[in-house]
Amino acid sequence: MKKQMLRFAFIVLVIVVLMFSTSAAATPTTTFTLISGLPAVMHVGDRATVIVQVNSDPAYSFVSAMALQSAFYPGRGVVARGRDGIDRSGTGSSATLSITFTAIGSTAKFAGGVAPVSVVAEANYANSGIVSQAFNFNVQVP
């Protein structure tokens, strides 16, 4: 009985020590810089490219960096279709991501007469999760 109690106490001690010795990985310092955004006004057929620069602390390389588009009115007004709607880079501490949008129809009937569009850039780290930032635009297509 005494051996079992000592064994139990030892296991509890090991668990407590492990709980306090393992901490969450530090979140790397990541910066997102908007190089070029969408214009406030586009005309049907116009194309514009959003470019985002992602930089990470060189000590923490990301596994991948990605940019995705999101639209309040998907498929209407201003769109990024197919490969134009996503950009991804591989491992590194710096990446330039771009998404190309095309004005395909009038936004006159939309709330405020504009199409709200977002580009979300993110850096994915092996042990530290994901760091992201959204860039929001309101585009009018007369």
Is-above-0.85 flag for pTM?
no
pLDDT band per the 50, 70, 90 thresholds, residue 9 = low
116 φ, ψ to 5°?
Answer: -70, 125
Return the pLDDT at 6. Answer: 54
Return the pLDDT at 114. Answer: 96
pLDDT band per the 50, 70, 90 thresholds, residue 81 = confident
Is the pLDDT score of 105 beyond 90?
yes
At the top level of CATH, which class does the domain 28-139 belong to?
Answer: mainly beta
Q: Which 3 state secondary structure label does DSSP give 19?
A: helix
* Nearest-10 Cα torsion for 28, 129, 63, 100: -100
Around 61, how many Cα atoms within 13 Å sit in the side-chain half-sphere?
5
List strands edge to edge, sheet with 94-103: 30-36, 47-56, 94-103, 78-79
Q: Which residues of 103-116 are buried (b: 16+ CB within 10 A; e: fewer)?
A: bbebbeebeeebbb
Q: Which tokens is 42 given? A: 């586009």
What mean pLDDT is predicted for residues 20-39? 80
Q: Rounded to whole angstroms, how far apart are CA atoms 34 and 52?
A: 5
> By the 8 A CB rule, do 65 and 43 touch?
no
Is the pLDDT score of 109 beyond 60?
yes
